[in-house]
Chain A
């Protein structure tokens, strides 16, 4: 199975080179791959519906207990088939739709990579692997939405989708890690077997919140739904594939997959159901007043995602069954309708429903596909959408009145939306469009027609997909399920509800113009709410980034230093005053000889004189006095080597100072008094901190000194009596090599700076 999941990535990487071999047939050739995968999945149908899922485990990072484990059960199989079957049609379609587009190879690269990632999501049993694939779908989706990268709307939409789903992804990662920590395993099957560990934990609400953040952003639930309609900037095959059939269902998939682990609690019930119900109603309504064919479809997709979310939130046998049926119906009709929309756009040059009409005469085949899709979406018999809607109503009426009302209202709106998107462009008088339309080549009608045939077939014979759907519902519920689907249930309450829905739907469609006027007037909040929050949030981020850069990266060295020094001093002083025991400090004044006092005072006076010097020469002289005092300290305390080096180097650098800066004018006074006072205060704080540090360091000995080793072995191993020298050239020889290298580099730098002749005004 690892081959099945990962081969897509391999092919994706090869796709651009393969494309060059045969640009014309690349679409058809690449579509063979998902077709083969689909056949592979179909061939395992028997085992899966028989209740024997396939499981493959490969050690991934054994040291951390992570495994790359894949699990093919009913739910996974349903999604995998949707991914591969629709994938086959999409890639065939895209070959013609994007024919001649300069970056077509890149398209194949990303769409194949996306398909492989999506398979990874729905087949992984390991949460970490699932998350990795999940993020890969976000990333490939970013590239696919931004496919027309010279359009700035496409780039903005791609970024928006990435930011929204990526933020959710981060939350999901935290949720996954937390879940694995408290549940004791990253395998979903293991977590589901013992869900009390997670549900009983006090962090369970946090886990839920994080997982919801991931699922709701990915599946475009209100208020995160705005990215999906924006993502319609993508080429139509991408919209059909990612934004209706597969990727946006990943959130729904995740909820379904994790419902045995996390579901069943009150929070789960109310939050998931609440978000789902709000989404299905709000976005079905928003779909009504769109004019762009693809946006109409996008909002209706969001609505269906809301329905699925709500059903998973409700849980229970009927709801989960309905979710699976509804999901399959949606994949069949929505992908078809998107492909129809793409064909209309391709042939007429517009997607504006107000400009389209009468296309039944010029595009008969597409019209047939569209009609089946639209009628299925409207929930009319004998199409599979009807079966889906009946299952939905059955689940809702088993629950309570409120969700039933929401469900009926949504179906009513979607009925009108279906008519608007699938029937209206083909009916009525022919209109004038930018291009003269005719039926597209077979590659572009194959998809809608094939999916339409399935809608009819499954609608007429709902027993066909019954077993697969039962297995899918079974893997969510964790027990065996035997669903019975039928087109005709007899004259019962459900049928009455359906009839009411149709009647209301017709009413809404006929009063569409009036409804749109009311909406424009009354509901600007719903229309642009969350996407404007997003824009405001981005503006705030940019503004604060610019602001803090201006403050922190201001280009003044002294301000950087002042910030660093102040923070250091404050933190260190705070830590010392709050936590340290001041008793450890001994202010050791004892046995200081007169000569030491004199030397110390000379050093103090000289360093203050250096600071206060008015001319350069005075400063250098004072600095020299400081240096020589330091050297004398070395002499006093048993370090003749240091003293010699210090005398030499000090002399050398004084000479250099004088040579280089002899002709400098006297120091100018640049700073004002308050600035000087402030800097003096910072300097004092840092200086006092170091005094303190020395006192603490000399009062406390934490570890025995390692010098004993050097002292003992200097002669025996290093053959030298001067231990300092032996350390430098022997024990720590490489340090000295590094030091010499630094000096050499500095020397080269100095030399080249002196030799450097600048183009203008440079003389040396």
Chain B
């Protein structure tokens, strides 16, 4: 099953990188979002996949018994999701204000310091 996810991750990265290189600033932000998804899945898959058993200690037990999903990458990804949301939100508002001021979403049109 890692094979399937590896391909999904590859395509997410490919489209993310491609979008980052567009001239439209909106597409650039979409590229950021795609990359964030790719990165989450990358960390998730690379740590090894376990089906269906969340890392929760059952009632009454003191520690995990049996095989569960790895909790550490999940904690990392949780942080990553939230932070990438913060970045995207800021980038969106920044791009919007820039668009309002400059009148274009073309990055090449934003090279001058005067508006």
Contacts and interface: CB of A to CB of B under 8 A. Distances in A.
A and B: interacting chains: yes
A604 B2 contact: no
Interface in A290-306: none
Nearest to A690: B13
Given A694-B45, A753-B97, A683 B64 contact: no
Interface residues of A, number: 105
Nearest to B28: A557
B6 A711 contact: no
Interface in A641-697: 641-642, 645-646, 649, 652-653, 656-657, 660-661, 664, 667-668, 670-671, 679-680, 682-684, 686-695, 697
B83 A743 contact: yes
Contact of B41 (A630, A653, A656, A735): A630
Contacts of B24: 667-668, 670
Contact of A742 (B4, B5, B45, B86): B86
A653 B81 contact: no
A151 interface: no
A630 B6 CA distance: 13
A633 B5 contact: yes
Q: Secondary structure at chain A's binding surface: helix, strand, loop or mixed?
A: helix
A588 B34 contact: no
A535 interface: no
B3 A716 contact: no
Contacts of A63: none
B3 A711 contact: no
Contacts of B4: 589, 592, 596-597, 600
A62 interface: no
A664 B18 contact: no
A656 B85 CA distance: 10
Interface string B19-35: 11111101110100110
Interface string A741-756: 0110111011001101
Interface string A720-748: 01111001100010011001001101110
Given A670-B23, A691-B10, A753 B68 contact: no
Contacts of B94: 749, 753
Nearest to B58: A721
Contacts of A761: 100-101, 115
Contacts of A549: none
Contact of B1 (A591, A604, A623, A656): A591
A565 interface: yes
A154 B62 CA distance: 80
Contact of A721 (B1, B50, B59, B89): B59
A46 interface: no
A509 to B, nearest CB: 66
Contact of A743 (B10, B37, B86): B86
Contacts of B9: 690-691, 694
Interface string A106-142: 0000000000000000000000000000000000000
A461 B22 CA distance: 87
Contacts of A756: 97
Q: Secondary structure at chain B's binding surface: helix, strand, loop or mixed?
A: helix
Interface string A688-715: 1111111101100100011100111011
Nearest to A763: B100
A557 B110 CA distance: 11
Interface stretch (A177-185, A220-228, A419-427, A608-616): A608-616
A619 interface: yes
Interface in B70-100: 70-72, 74-75, 77-79, 81-83, 85-90, 92-97, 99-100
Nearest to B47: A705
A661 B96 contact: yes
Contact of A690 (B42, B79, B97, B101): B42
A667 B29 CA distance: 14
A680 B22 CA distance: 11
Contacts of A561: 17, 20-21
A471 interface: no
Given A668-B24, A754-B93, A639 B69 contact: yes
A712 B63 contact: yes
Interface in A603-640: 603-604, 607-608, 610-611, 616, 619-620, 623, 626-627, 630, 633-634, 636-640
B21 A722 contact: no
B15 A683 contact: yes
Nearest to A731: B75
Contacts of B15: 607-608, 610-611, 683, 687
Contact of B78 (A723, A724, A746): A724
Given A562-B21, A664-B99, A727 B10 contact: no
B70 to A, nearest CB: 5
A707 B71 contact: yes
A642 B74 contact: yes
A664 B79 CA distance: 31
B21 A588 contact: no
B52 A638 contact: yes
A555 interface: yes
A724 B71 contact: yes
A89 B36 CA distance: 73
Given A706-B72, A721-B57, A723-B56, A626 B34 contact: yes
A694 B12 contact: no
B3 A642 contact: no
Contacts of A682: 17-18, 21
A518 to B, nearest CB: 60
Contacts of B101: 758, 761-762
B6 A645 contact: no
A596 B8 CA distance: 12
B88 to A, nearest CB: 6
A744 to B, nearest CB: 9
Contacts of B48: 698, 701
Nearest to A761: B101
B87 to A, nearest CB: 7
A693 B46 contact: yes
Contacts of B96: 660-661
A760 interface: yes
Contact of A596 (B1, B22, B33, B57): B1
B20 to A, nearest CB: 6
Contact of B90 (A558, A626, A692, A746): A746
A521 interface: no
Contacts of A762: 100-101
A556 interface: yes
A587 interface: yes
Nearest to A720: B57
A711 B55 contact: yes
Most chain A beta carbons < 10 A, residue from B3, B52, B63, B107? B3
Contacts of B100: 761-764
B68 A670 contact: no
10 contacts: A555-B111, A591-B1, A626-B34, A630-B40, A649-B85, A687-B10, A695-B3, A711-B63, A722-B55, A756-B97
List of 6 A-B pairs having minimum Cβ-Cβ separation, nearest first:
A687-B14, A638-B69, A691-B10, A683-B18, A746-B86, A697-B46
Given A565-B17, A683-B18, 14 more contacts: A592-B1, A600-B4, A600-B5, A611-B15, A637-B51, A661-B92, A670-B22, A671-B23, A683-B13, A683-B17, A689-B10, A712-B63, A715-B62, A739-B82
